Structure 1
Amino acid sequence: MFRFTSTARRTSGGDRPRGRHSAAARIGGLLAGLAALSLLTACGGDGDTAVASGESGDPIKIGVVGASEDYWKIFTDLAAEEGIDVELVNFTDYTQPNPALSQGQLDLNQFQHLQYLAAYNVANDDDLTPIGATAIYPLALYSKEHASLEDIPEGAEIAIPNDETNQARALLVLQDAGLLTLENGGDSTSLPSDIVAEESKVTVTPVAAEQTAVALNSVDASIINNDFVADAGLEPEDALYQDQADSPAARPYINVWVARSGEEDNETFQRLVELYHTAEVEEASSQASGGTAVFTDNPADELQGILDEIEGNLAAQG
């Protein structure tokens, strides 16, 4: 399962950003950071494909990452029971599902959060649209030195992921935790240079995402992606703080079902969104995430509003 936080396991970001980036640089950095995850291009349904039939008689092709996860088999079986033909198209290159959807090679995809979708749309002048939500995977603060937020001292050093998406999210987590202040409240494009030092309790050190766990031995605390928590000998419940799924700061990181613009009201697509939230699928998906998934069912119009806001923020950085 690709838990879009948005860096998959063993991914590194670039150098620490300095100063304000142009919109192109920010968007390019976000997409390039995720492109660095890729080793292979898409491969068609990997043997776990269900066979039923959609309205046109052709299968509904869904681009996913991690098609072999148990919850996808449960999902496709449920769809088949309702006569819906679902073909999973598995990707290991995260830059491919959106172009494939835009070009009509897919009917839907489900692998990304709104922040990534916004960056793709702005960079490619596209208008792919979210039609339903799946879950948020919290980003959390851990420490081996301190037992609570209150124990973190003035001037403490916090390691954060240095890839564009998780870096901004980490800064927002620290702000929500009361440890720092960002200019104008910050948003999903914030950089360390946006920290208001005189109003902040801690400093941050951006490092490659997989190094945040290792850094726990030399810093006061680290923001660590779910994928790397076990590397630090920690459990999710050891977190001192994590972003709340219902907080405004977490909204860009809602993982979503995505369709081409104009197809958001397709009844079969909407039924597939509903099937994902059946108890059987959610239970298996939760197990795949180590119990960290927070499922959410934000309606499509709300998701589109969040997407529009993010795209506006990205465009305004130019």
Structure 2
Amino acid sequence: MKKLKKLAIGTILTAGVLLTAACGNGNKATGEETTTVKLGVVGEVNEPWEYVKEQLAADGINLELVKFSDYATPNTALAEGELDLNSFQTKIFMEAFNEDHGEDLTPIGDTVIAPLGIYSSDLKDISEIKENDTIAIPNDVSNEGRALLLLQTAGLIEVDPAKGQVPVVEDVTSNPLNLTLQPLDSSQTARALEDVAASVINSGMAVDAGFIPTEDAIFLEPVTESSDPYVNAIVVRGEDKDNELYNKIVAAYQTDGTKEVIEKTSKGSSIPVWK
């Protein structure tokens, strides 16, 4: 009889150990289960998402921020299932990726619009750009086109209107200052400032380089009704667009609290656009 009792106790202890192991992802303080979701972001400055991460933790969601230093890898990682969602890109950038790679990435929530800017180490105003100067621009399809349209808005060049929002350097139809337009990887445009007269830099990369876009850009992209393709979005694989958990993360982002963090940390350089 004693032997049977010992066996019963041993079985209970073993079951307890297994139960503890099964709850390894739980909240130790409350005993509740947690769910980890991997979100891809670009750059080291991600205060709005850090704020959202804290809010989600109370609901048992562990939002893991996976940081990248370029704009190509996060979409590949998402498409291959290494991420659950990402938040770093404009809608037009995502569409170009889908077209080039045959993928079906889909936006499930708007975040901000971050105006593109022209920066310089030496010049204080766009009017100081002179003949034969070199201007660095991002080299991916959507950002190259956006940069060229920005240079056109600044009065430096003209591009073929038939190319819509995705012109390339070869589509420049007027270049009165004979500027050299040097396409570079987006992550290199800020680093190139020592070697060029000016550089068109994405807002996130500019902030990481120590700039405040609204103060330091010598020309900043205007935000108008036609800016929707340049709105940043939270993106998932097409099959996950109705995923309840992922849409809960969108809802956690699109709050007044997040808006306050964005306005404070970006100094107005990123503009919340959700309704």
TM-score, shorter chain, exceeding 0.5: yes
Q: Partner of 1:175: helix, strand, or coil?
A: helix
1:233-272 mapped onto 2 (5 Å cutoff): 236-248=214-226, 250-272=227-249
Runs (5+) with no aligned partner, structure 1 = 1-48, 299-318
Q: Assess if the C-alpha contact under 8 Å between 1:138 and 1:242 holds in 2.
A: yes
Q: 2:194 aligns with which of 201, 214, 224?
A: 214
The answer to whether the Cα contact below 8 Å between 1:135 and 1:254 also exists between their aligned partners in 2 is: yes
- Higher mean C-alpha displacement, 117-126 vs 264-273: 264-273
- Answer yes or no: is 1:190 the counterpart of 2:167: yes
User: How big is each residue's C-alpha offset from its partner over 1:57-87, in whole Å with a ceiling of 9 and x where there is no partner?
Assistant: 7725132235884433321222233x35233
Q: Helix, strand or coil: the match of 1:190?
A: coil
1:150-191 per-residue CA deviation (whole Å, 9 max, x = no partner) reads x45885745132523443222110122333211125444322
Matches within 5 A, 1:106-255: 106-142=83-119, 144-145=122-123, 147=125, 151=127, 155=131, 157=133, 159-165=135-141, 166-197=143-174, 200-207=175-182, 208=184, 209-215=189-195, 219=197, 221-226=198-203, 227-228=205-206, 236-248=214-226, 250-255=227-232
1:145 and 1:263, CA in 2 relative to 1: closer, same or farther beyond 3 A?
closer
Inter-partner Cα distance in structure 2 for 1:50 and 1:119: 40
Shift of 1:295: 1.8
- Structure 2 residue 64 is the aligned partner of structure 1 residue 88: yes
How far the C-alpha of 1:99 sits from its partner, in A, is 4.1
Q: Alpha-carbon deviation of 1:129?
A: 0.6
Residues 153 and 244 of structure 1: CA distance in aligned 2, closer, same or farther (over 3 Å): closer
Contact 1:109–1:257 (CA<8 Å) still a contact in 2? yes
Which letter does structure 2 place at the counterpart of 1:244? P
Rounded to whole Å, the distance in 1 between the matches of 2:131 and 2:213 is 26
The answer to whether the Cα contact below 8 Å between 2:136 and 2:192 also exists between their aligned partners in 1 is: yes
Q: Mean alpha-carbon deviation: is it higher for 62-71 or for 255-264?
A: 62-71
From the superposition, tell whether residues 121 and 51 of structure 1 become closer, same or farther in structure 2 (CA, over 3 Å): farther
d(CA) in 2 for partners of 1:142, 1:67: 20
Distance in 2 separating the partners of 1:233 and 1:99: 28
The match for 2:7 is none
Query: Aligned-pair distance for 1:281?
Result: 2.3
Q: 1:286 to 1:133 in 2, by over 3 A?
A: same
Q: Which of 19, 37, 44 is 1:61 aligned to? A: 37
Structure 1 equivalent of residue 13 of structure 2: none
| Percent identical | 27
Contact 2:123–2:218 (8 Å) recurs in 1: no
Does residue 294 of structure 1 match 2:274?
Answer: no
How far residue 257 of structure 1 moved from its aligned partner, in angstroms, is: 0.7
**Deviation digits for residues 3-40 of structure 1, max 9, x if unmatched?**
xxxxxxxxxxxxxxxxxxxxxxxxxxxxxxxxxxxxxx
What amino acid is the match of 1:86? N
Q: CA deviation at 1:202?
A: 3.9
Classify the secondary structure of the residue corresponding to 1:257.
Answer: strand
Q: For the Cα contact (< 8 Å) 1:154–1:201, is it kept in 2? A: no
What code does the residue aligned with 2:179 have? V
Q: Is the 8 A contact 1:51 1:85 kept in 2?
A: no
Alignment-mate amino acid for residue 120 of structure 1: F
Which stretch of structure 1 is more off in the superposition, 274-283 or 94-103?
94-103
What's the offset of the Cα at 1:195?
0.9
Number of aligned residues: 237
C-alpha distance in 2 between matches for 1:91 and 1:232: 18
Change (3 A) 1:185 1:290: farther
Contact 1:121–1:128 (Cα < 8 Å) also in 2: yes
Could you tell me how far apart the structure 2 residues matched to 1:97 and 1:50 are?
A: 28
Contact 1:181 1:195 in 2 (8 A): yes
Contact 1:136 1:293 in 2 (8 A): yes
Structure 2 unaligned segments of length 5 or more: list them: 1-24
Q: Provide Cα deviations, 1:171-221, integer angstroms capped at 9, x if missing partner.
A: 110122333211125444322221112xx54443234413553256xx4x5
Kindly indicate whether the alpha-carbon contact (under 8 Å) linking 1:110 and 1:258 is maintained by their aligned counterparts in 2. Answer: yes
Structure with the greater alpha carbon radius of gyration: 2
Change (3 A) 1:252 1:214: farther
**Alignment partners' CA distance in 1, 2:157 and 2:45:** 41
